[in-house]
Structure 1
């Protein structure tokens, strides 16, 4: 059976409409995927380390709470105690909301920072801070999941004959361990507190 001219036109129009419909669906899917990607955190906190009480802790253990994470070492002469003091001030300033935030100190010097050393150090700033350590391999693996660096620097006058160079940012992770924000060294506690209160 031969198609009339009108039927041919209708078939062509139907084909074009089907093509446009499929293209529109694909475009909407692409836009949805793009929107999801834009809302995805650039990275997630990921670790399995031993805390200052000798208990193994992972990021999943803090699900449902915001995490304030700082990398440092107990023999740090200035940056670490200053930042942990700011963290302590933030936790105090949060009042009842402090229960929604878990401050975490991860050592970059596992050779000296044993659980015992951390147990003597972190409570000097705030009783709620959890200190984490592990084997050198565990610390190296953890550091690869964060945008940080650290290195051992030989220094004859330092305890043990060396010190550590390391990233000095304070990181914030959301209740699903997704990166939310960070603050450079020297950011006042008041500014960090204000940022936190806008989020939690």
Structure 2
């Protein structure tokens, strides 16, 4: 009788250990950013606001944040730039190798001078622009949604992907920071990126 009870307890412990291991595996798998092969690796030729070429190769050598937006953006873009600046301040010396890029999805209005002025206050973000054709290649390469939306009169706005892409020093996609994601979560993702 005692032997049967001991066997039952042992089998319950084995079942509990198996369930715990399965739960741990599922948790770590679901919380690991999914790699997307080739994201951002297309053949596009853009330029920074200082005139340097910006291609997929520009993201190799240092971890980076990449954000697609436009200078006439009423809320998402200025908020995201402000958050990126705050993360740099919170990370301090940890972020010394972290690069950041703001790539316009509105090249018709966003010239190099306009974008340079728009991101200049951040002290950390490099503006990127290009022709309509090359911008379309870049957004396709990054699987970024960007669409012109007409407004009253001859004006328009842009709907666009609002996530910030995280890129490792090899130029590979490591995950995203969602728009208005909690600062603690964003900083944890950036610390992980910087530790790779």
TM-score (norm 1): 0.74
| C-alpha distance after superposition, 1:86-118 (max 9, x if no partner) | 111111222112222111100000000000001
Give the secondary structure class of the aligned counterpart of 1:65. Answer: coil
Contact 2:72-2:157 within 8 A present in 1 as well: yes
Residue of 80, 84, 96 corresponding to 1:83: 80
5+ residue gaps, structure 1 = 1-38
Match of 2:38 in 1: 43
Q: Distance in 2 between matches of 1:40 and 1:129?
A: 24
Residues 52 and 130, structure 1, Cα contact 8 Å, conserved in 2: yes
Q: Is 2:188 the counterpart of 1:154?
A: no
Q: Which residue does 1:136 correspond to in 2?
A: 132
SS at match of 1:96: helix
Name the SS for the 1:144 alignment partner: helix
In 1, the alpha carbon distance for the partners of 2:143 and 2:53 equals 23
Shift of residue 61, structure 1, vs aligned partner: 2.9
Q: CA deviation at 1:43?
A: 2.7
SS of the aligned residue for 2:142 comes to coil
| CA drift at 1:44 | 3.6
Give the drift of 1:40. 6.3
1:64 aligns with 2:58: no
Any gaps of 5 or more consecutive residues in structure 2?
A: 1-33
Q: For residue 170 of structure 2, what is the aligned residue in structure 1?
A: 176
What TM-score do the two structures reach when normalised by structure 2?
0.75
1:186 to 171, 175, 180: 180
d(CA) in 2 for partners of 1:199 and 1:72? 22
Structure of greater Rg: 1
Pairs aligned (count) = 159
Does 1:119 pair with 2:113?
no
Match of 1:52 among 36, 49, 53: 49
Query: What RMSD, in angstroms, separates the aligned Cα atoms of the two structures?
Result: 1.8
